Amino acid sequence: MSTDLRPVWVIGVGLHPYRKAGRTPYPELGVTAVRAALADAGLRWDQVDTAYTGTATTSMALSRLMYRHLGATGIPMVQVENASASGSSAFRQAYLDVAAGLHDVAIAVGVDKPLNLTMPARAAGLEDLVGNRLLPVSHFALLASRYMHETGATPEQIARVAVKNSRNAALNPNAQRPRARTLEEVLAPPALSGVLTRLQCCPIGEGAAAAIVVSERAITDLGLDRGRAVRVRSSALRSETYYGTENFDAALTAETTAEALRAACVSIDDVDLIELHDAFTVEELVYLEAMQVCEPGRAAAALARGDFDIGGKVAVNTSGGLLSMGHPIGPTGVGQIAELAVQLRGEAGPRQHPDARIGLAHMVGIGAVCAVHVLAREEEW
């Protein structure tokens, strides 16, 4: 990425709580999150220059029908679909818009209702011997079996990811599963596939998240609060290449994380917070190893030591992650940014990780794509 980009700051974040799908229309979900972000930033809607909306399961052309409830200001608006990384990709576009000097205030909004959830293979006319019979839960159950075989991890150790993340979500008023679970509850039958039980698989529901990014000029000209601005140090987005027999999501995560860290001029050891794609418990362990947070095969042991707890070596999924915060698809990546911003400001209340200075957000999307963002609390301007 070019080094000529301007500094960009997250100045406001907001959410509509994630929850099971209901009858609330999506504009109400999205507008709730946008208004919360505007209030958090101290901005009006007519001060926003451009909008990007991450959505994957609701409808085409939904942006205008949502934003008109805030006022017809004539700003450019674009919908972004990138599977589970839709919100992350919308945030990246808002960031690049400001970093490139095109605008000074941009908003990324993720909003979804599970109305139109489809997979691309059928539309592409692709057929194979497996077809629709291998559901995502079965794919990750096989991955869990391979991980256990290669590392010696046990089903109980993998399930402890859900225990930790449910404990964090119990402190998060926006979480879809806001209840701490014991290991016995997580392991309770029936298994959906392999060793994966219901509570080891993320819920897909509805919700919304918004993040406003601004230039330094906007902070000065609009009189915004510099003390609550969080720097976007880097944004990386990659798609998979050929990895042979290697786990492609893990390999892609390793490449994208390395690119984001290089651009941010930090190492993984500098990172205090990680919000990562844990749609299934085993993913958290695999991705942490791919990011080199710990050595290969050692994530389960590090989890057991409390390394990934709030207050541990690096706090992972303080929001509750996809497993307990929820995964409404479009909002998920933007919601990660919101969690990091709140943590880096020191405003996370009972789930605050002490002295958090650098956070990393990670999402993968079917296809596969991977988005990684690095945010930082910078007291020197």
In percent, the amount of the chain with pLDDT more than 90 equals 88
User: What confidence score (pLDDT) does residue 51 get?
Assistant: 98
Interatomic CA distance for residues 282 and 159, integer angstroms: 8
Q: Are 293 and 314 in contact (CB under 8 A)?
A: yes
User: What confidence score (pLDDT) does residue 114 get?
Assistant: 87
Q: Which domains does the chain have, with CATH numbers?
A: 9-116+203-376 (3.40.47.10)
Model confidence, pTM: 0.95
Give the burial class of 267: count Cβ atoms within 10 A of its Cβ; 0-12 exposed, 13-18 middle, 19 or more buried: exposed
3-class state of residue 210 by DSSP: strand
**Cα–Cα separations (whole angstroms), residue 214 to 125, 266, 292, 353, 381:** 42, 22, 31, 25, 14
**Cα–Cα separations (whole angstroms), residue 265 to 29, 40, 376:** 36, 29, 11
* 224-258 pLDDT, tens digit each: 999 999 999 999 999 999 998 789 999 999 999 99
* Other Cβ atoms within 10 Å of 185 Cβ, number: 15
Rounded average pLDDT over 82-86 = 96
Q: What letter does residue 116 receive in the DSSP assignment? A: S
pLDDT for 121 beyond 90 = no
Interatomic CA distance for residues 251 and 363, integer angstroms: 13
Q: Which of 126-135, 266-275, 292-301 has the lowest mean pLDDT?
A: 126-135
Interatomic CA distance for residues 310 and 352, integer angstroms: 7
Q: Are 325 and 171 in contact (CB under 8 A)?
A: no
Q: What angle do CA 63, 329, 148 make, to 5 degrees?
A: 165
Q: Are 85 and 371 in contact (CB under 8 A)?
A: yes
* Other Cβ atoms within 10 Å of 327 Cβ, number: 25
* 298-357 pLDDT, tens digit each: 999 999 999 999 999 999 999 999 999 999 999 999 999 999 999 999 999 999 999 999
3-class state of residue 314 by DSSP: coil
Q: Are 320 and 169 in contact (CB under 8 A)?
A: yes
Rounded average pLDDT over 28-46 = 98
pLDDT for 362 beyond 70 = yes
Interatomic CA distance for residues 227 and 45, integer angstroms: 22
Interatomic CA distance for residues 219 and 113, integer angstroms: 34
Reported as a pLDDT band with limits 50, 70 and 90, residue 37 is very high
* Other Cβ atoms within 10 Å of 97 Cβ, number: 23
Provide the edge-to-edge strand list for the sheet that holds 206-214: 77-80, 50-54, 105-112, 206-214, 9-19, 230-239, 369-376, 358-365, 273-275, 315-316
User: What confidence score (pLDDT) does residue 280 get?
Assistant: 98
360: left (phi over 0), alpha (psi -120 to 50) or beta: beta
Interatomic CA distance for residues 259 and 291, integer angstroms: 11
* Other Cβ atoms within 10 Å of 227 Cβ, number: 8
